[in-house]
């Protein structure tokens, strides 16, 4: 199985990458990175991305690297406090993700069409897009919000786009929304104990759930924190 990862240099993304490298069903990983990840591996193929690459996917080398991919785990994102302005936050959080979903589905359809032409049979699989949202994301764009309104609305808007993409292309595209609360480290630090008082999940459990869903698919599209935390595989 070939999988695309975005956000591999972040806290959650590094754990997702580690588990993908160890997963026996995943044979090839395309990491879309703005900077080099801290590890190398025979399964791992890194494509360095510029801002325009995340918005157009017009680079022939990039397009070629996406062919044959079966799924994506998208942990790439930025908080409003770390973005230069609201426009930059929306570009990274919303536009990068929505453009990726369309580009990956198009590449998947093109690959399957070529396979069907060669084998004269129907492949029958769907591309799986696993998106890391947040527990407070709000899909209702008209709902008044008093806490982190911009962040929650934009995350909810991305969820709507991905779910609409799946509804519009039911035979070729599936979207899964991960909505973790506080993400805790494996080590169980004092800070983790404090954060654990709120809805939370350990980073390795979160990554395992996402990887399992990307590899196997699932009947549930929305994954709230409580369900993720109970995931056993």
Distances (CA, A) of 67 to 110, 114, 132, 154: 8, 10, 23, 29
Give the residues across from 222 on adjacent strands: 177
Task: Indicate left, alpha or beta for 186 from its phi (over 0: left) and psi (-120 to 50: alpha).
Answer: alpha
| Per-residue pLDDT reduced to its tens digit, 147-188 | 888 899 999 999 999 999 999 999 999 999 999 999 999 998
Q: Is it the case that residue 79 has pLDDT exceeding 80?
A: no
CA atoms within 13 A on the CB side of 56: 8
DSSP SS3 for 134: coil
C-alpha–C-alpha distance, residues 184 and 103, integer Å: 32
pLDDT tens-digit map of 7-65: 999 999 999 999 999 999 999 999 999 888 888 999 999 999 999 999 999 999 999 99
Evaluate whether 3 touches 28 at the Cβ level (below 8 Å): yes
Q: Is the pLDDT of residue 127 over 90?
A: yes
The CA-CA-CA angle for residues 217, 218, 220, to 5°, reads 140
d(CA 143, CA 163): 19
Extract the runs of DSSP E, i.e. beta strands, from the chain.
Answer: 2-6, 28-33, 44-48, 71-74, 127-132, 173-179, 182-184, 200-202, 222-224
Tell me how far CA of residue 91 lies from CA of 32, 55, 96, in angstroms.
Answer: 16, 9, 6
**Residue 196 backbone dihedrals phi, psi, to 5 degrees:** -70, -10
Global pTM value: 0.93
C-alpha–C-alpha distance, residues 151 and 90, integer Å: 9
Phi and psi torsions of 202, nearest 5° = -75, 145
Judge whether 28 and 45 are in contact, CB under 8 Å: yes
Helices then strands (H, E): number in the chain?
A: 9, 9
Reference 155, options 173, 141, 142; nearest CA is 141
pLDDT at res. 232: 74
Look at the domain 2-229 and name its fold. Rossmann fold (3.40.50)
Q: Which of 34-43, 74-83, 94-103, 202-211 has the lowest average pLDDT? A: 74-83
pLDDT at 223 over 60: yes
């Amino acid at each position: 199985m070939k999988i695309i990862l975005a956000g591999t240099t972040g806290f959650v993304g590094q754990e997702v990458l580690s588990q993908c490298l160890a997963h026996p069903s995943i044979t090839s990983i395309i990491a879309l990175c703005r900077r080099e990840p801290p590890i190398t591996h025979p399964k791992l193929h890194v494509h360095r991305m510029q801002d325009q690459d995340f918005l157009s996917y017009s680079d022939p080398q990039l397009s070629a690297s996406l062919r044959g991919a079966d799924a994506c785990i998208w942990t790439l994102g930025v908080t409003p406090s770390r973005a230069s302005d609201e426009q930059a936050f929306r570009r990274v959080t919303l536009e990068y993700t929505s453009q990726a979903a369309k580009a990956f589905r198009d590449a998947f359809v093109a690959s399957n069409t070529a396979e069907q032409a060669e084998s004269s049979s129907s492949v029958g699989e769907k591309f799986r897009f696993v998106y890391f949202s947040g527990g407070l994301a709000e899909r209702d764009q008209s709902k008044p919000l008093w806490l982190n309104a911009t962040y929650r609305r934009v995350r909810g808007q991305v969820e709507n786009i991905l779910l609409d993409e799946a509804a519009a292309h039911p035979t070729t595209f599936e979207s899964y929304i991960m909505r973790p609360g506080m993400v805790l480290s494996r080590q169980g630090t004092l800070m983790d104990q404090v954060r654990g008082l709120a809805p939370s999940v350990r980073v390795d459990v979160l990554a395992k759930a996402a990887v399992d869903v990307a590899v196997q698919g699932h009947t549930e599209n929305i994954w709230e924190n409580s369900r993720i935390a109970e995931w056993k595989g």
